[in-house]
Amino acid sequence: MIHEPTHANSATERTQPSSPKDRIVSIDVIRGIAVAGILLINIDYFLSRAGQAEDPAGTDAVIRQVVDDIALGKFHFVFAFLFGTGVHIFLSRLRAKHRSTWVYVRRMIILIAAGAINSALGGIDVLASYGVLALLLLPLTRLPRWAFVVLGVAAATVPDVLQLASSLGDLQLPSLLFPILSFVRTLGHMMLGFWLTVLGLYSAATRIPVTGIFVLSFLGSVPIWIWTTAAGTGSTEAHEIAFRTALIPGLMYVTGLILLLRTRLGRKGLSFLRLYGRMAFSNYLGQTVVGVLALPLLTAHGHVSAAGGLIVWAVIIIAQCAFSTVWLRCFRYGPLEWLWRCGTYWELTPLRYAPESRSDSASQS
């Protein structure tokens, strides 16, 4: 459930960042799935960057179409949605501790810098744009709730409608408008995540009809999958439909995972992704390092099929999950998460567990 902010009672509490225990487990799990899903899409980019230029055909085309249907745009939606969730939680805790909003601004400036580094390394980066959009989101949170909701829904839907009409229909849009629409779209996804978190989306006692949203988004996803299939396997039209309609299956993923994580089986079966999600920042940038440095070694020995790409993806995710588990048994934060936190609060946060808390961490892992 969402941790409601409590008011700080002392100067010490006002200057201390939140504890790693003060987390929402379901968000960590869903974030881990989103980071894994983003790599599922980006693996083709890394292979292409490593020198593999063949166009997919036959079985490769079918596999890549299935990946598009499952992942293209969907996990970027989930990632942006959870980013909006994180913005709400972070701002709530800042206000509870009577900290300046400049702490938030500094946090996003650091994220922008990290995104620039990721791009320089050769990765497909969203961090820099997320940091910029988070700064734009800050004044929007001061809007009346009805205005925030209307603006968020419009921002999340109108760009996709316009770009889909431009790609598949007769609508002509200026080329300069496309990057603006992409930014607006992502901002809308963040606003949806922010708003639904305010309403208590992750709480078991929420009034949000999570089951209803899941059913409706599932029913909406079925005709989208049919439409994508009818457009032709591997076609530009199928790719565009899969990407521009990602919000609907993306909502299905978020709400479906929330419902699944309310069950004992779901919590147990997905628990290995909790620590992976806690280190999402480190793992996201780590994927770029692996993609840029390791994948050229594979392509140097010949063509990597789509099925082979899935195996590479699975190996990377398994390795990162294992590393995250080992690291967080010894340390309170992931390596980049720790640097980000120190820069955010402009103070040196302890990285290692205190002796008395190590046993608690081990029992929670």
pLDDT at residue 234 in the model: 85
Q: Which domain holds residue 339?
A: 37-364
pLDDT at residue 355 in the model: 65
Of 258, 308, 209, the residue nearest 81 (C-alpha): 258
Mean pLDDT of the chain: 89
| Mean per-residue pLDDT, 338-346 | 96
Q: Picking from 30-34, 46-50, 90-94, 360-364, which range would have the lowest pLDDT averaged per residue?
A: 360-364
The DSSP 8-state label assigned to residue 51 in this structure reads: T
The answer to whether residue 6 is domain-embedded is no
pLDDT at residue 9 in the model: 41
pLDDT at residue 216 in the model: 98
How many structural domains comprise the chain? 1
Confidence of residue 319 (pLDDT cuts 50, 70, 90): very high
Predicted TM-score (pTM) of this structure? 0.90
pLDDT at residue 48 in the model: 86
Give the pair of three-digit tokens for residue 259.
């419902």
The answer to whether residue 26 is domain-embedded is no
Per the listing, tokens 């103070």 go with: 347
The answer to whether residue 8 is domain-embedded is no
Q: Distance between CA 97 and CA 6 in Å, rounded? A: 8
pLDDT at residue 362 in the model: 44
Of 67, 40, 71, the residue nearest 233 (C-alpha): 67
pLDDT at residue 21 in the model: 52
Q: Is the predicted pLDDT of residue 204 greater than 80, yes or no?
A: yes
Q: How many Cα neighbours within 13 Å face the side chain of 348? A: 1
Q: What is the percentage of the chain residues whose pLDDT exceeds 70? A: 91
Whether the Cβ atoms of residue 221 and residue 252 lie closer than 8 Å to each other: yes
The answer to whether residue 156 is domain-embedded is yes
Q: Picking from 1-15, 119-133, 227-241, 343-357, which range would have the lowest pLDDT averaged per residue?
A: 1-15
The answer to whether residue 128 is domain-embedded is yes
Q: What CA dihedral angle connects 30, 32, 35 and 36, to 10 degrees?
A: -110
The answer to whether residue 142 is domain-embedded is yes
The answer to whether residue 21 is domain-embedded is no
Confidence of residue 5 (pLDDT cuts 50, 70, 90): very low
Q: Tens digit of pLDDT for each residue in 250-304? A: 999 999 999 999 999 999 999 989 999 999 999 999 999 999 999 998 888 788 8
**SS3 state of residue 352:** strand
Q: Tens digit of pLDDT for each residue in 57-98? A: 789 889 999 999 999 999 999 999 999 999 999 999 999 999
Confidence of residue 7 (pLDDT cuts 50, 70, 90): very low
Per the listing, tokens 């745009």 go with: 73
Tell how far CA 138 is from the center of its chain.
19
Q: Is the predicted pLDDT of residue 343 greater than 80, yes or no?
A: yes
| Mean per-residue pLDDT, 111-133 | 93
pLDDT at residue 356 in the model: 58
Q: Distance between CA 136 and CA 148 in Å, rounded? A: 13
The answer to whether residue 32 is domain-embedded is no
Confidence of residue 16 (pLDDT cuts 50, 70, 90): very low
